[in-house]
Amino acid sequence: MTDVRVAALLPSATETLFALGVEPVGVSHSCDHPPAARDLPTLTSTVVDHDDRSASDIDAQMRSVDGAVYDLDVDRLAALEPDFVVTQATCDVCAVDAGAVHEAVASLDPAPEVLTLDPHSFSDVLDDVARLGAAVDRPDAAAALVDGLTDCVERVRERAADAVAGSGRPRTAVLDWTDPPIRAGHWVRDMVDIAGGDPSFQPDGASEPVAWEDVRTYDPEALVVAPCGFERDRAVDAAGGLADRPGWRDLAAVADNRAYAVDGNALFNRPSHRLVDSLEALFACLHPDRAEAPPAAVDRIGRVGDAAARTAGAAAR
């Protein structure tokens, strides 16, 4: 373990630090992977109640907040005496605002360094592994991790190329929220492309709301519902809410039993090294007859029927 003391204020950084052999001295309230992260001092909190709440309820709470959605415990941060703090500037609704972190850190004496991650593409995520490795003096471990991840990505590219040559690119829609519907942006467009899908539905930038009528017009042949922060069973419930919308049964993805509910908490939403597992899972959704996704990834995917979800492993057989 490195002697560098790191406070990680977002789950993706915590996951990657552990993969590099570094245990943070403090983490955010959302950090839950690996399980050891749950035992570390918590530095953030939120006024929004996510537990057992629907997508629409959480959205309403977020909109009603007057002020900061997330709070940083500056006194506890000071007591932990970190050498640097990892934050993010990618999403204002996912973690403590980077500006608030810089302001808080500046009040400490001595003030730790701040590493702000801001990935917007799949390659950015891999580059951040190297940045974190350099910051914690683990460049060799980071290089080895990136090499392994790159090899996995290339294997997916090769299988996807074969699949596309045989059956083309399915019209693909990935939603990272359901009420209101939001199409997933940032690295997801790249992932759909790499996994052999048509990425044109995904925004070339941040995630953005999309009218349900636009989803119907696009008529995806594969629909992946990965609500931000929802585990698979909650994703299944959220996807079930979409089934009440007009034209649901007429979607090509639904008619062909290719509407999926995915554990967004572990896959897709967090820009850590585990996005490569997400890529494998996405390929399993888009080309199930050619999938070789790891069992752990497959277990996080369900197919959405009229009333229930079945695991992707069973559906692929």
pLDDT tens sequence across 277-303: 999 999 999 998 887 655 556 678 887
Q: If pLDDT is split at 50, 70 and 90, which confidence band does 182 have?
A: very high
The number of folded domains in the chain is: 2
Q: If pLDDT is split at 50, 70 and 90, which confidence band does 241 have?
A: confident
Q: Tell me: do 176 and 307 sit in the same domain.
A: yes
Q: Tell me: do 292 and 181 sit in the same domain.
A: yes
Phi, psi of 59 (to 5 degrees): -60, -40
Q: Tell me: do 294 and 185 sit in the same domain.
A: yes
The whole-number pLDDT of residue 309 equals 38
The identity of residue 180, as a single letter, is P
CA distance 2 to 133: 11
Q: If pLDDT is split at 50, 70 and 90, which confidence band does 21 have?
A: very high
CA distances from 107 to 44, 46, 75, 101, 110 (A): 17, 22, 10, 10, 9
pTM for the whole structure: 0.88
Residue 230 is classified by DSSP as -
Q: Tell me: do 181 and 107 sit in the same domain.
A: no
Phi, psi of 111 (to 5 degrees): -85, 125
Q: Which domain holds residue 44?
A: 6-118
CA distance 217 to 169: 18
Q: If pLDDT is split at 50, 70 and 90, which confidence band does 95 have?
A: low
Q: Is the pLDDT of residue 47 over 50?
A: yes
Q: Choose one of 86, 118, 150: the last residue of a domain.
A: 118
Is residue 64 within 8 A of residue 47, CB to CB? The reply is no
Is residue 309 within 8 A of residue 302, CB to CB? The reply is yes
Q: Is the pLDDT of residue 315 over 60?
A: no
Q: Tell me: do 311 and 194 sit in the same domain.
A: yes
What CATH number should be reported for the domain holding residue 16?
Answer: 3.40.50.1980
Q: Tell me: do 190 and 60 sit in the same domain.
A: no
Q: Tell me: do 70 and 173 sit in the same domain.
A: no
Average pLDDT, stretch 38-66?
75
Q: If pLDDT is split at 50, 70 and 90, which confidence band does 61 have?
A: low
3-state helix, strand, coil in the chain (%, to 5): 45, 15, 40
Q: Tell me: do 186 and 308 sit in the same domain.
A: yes
Any domain includes 196: yes
Share of the chain above pLDDT 90, in %: 63
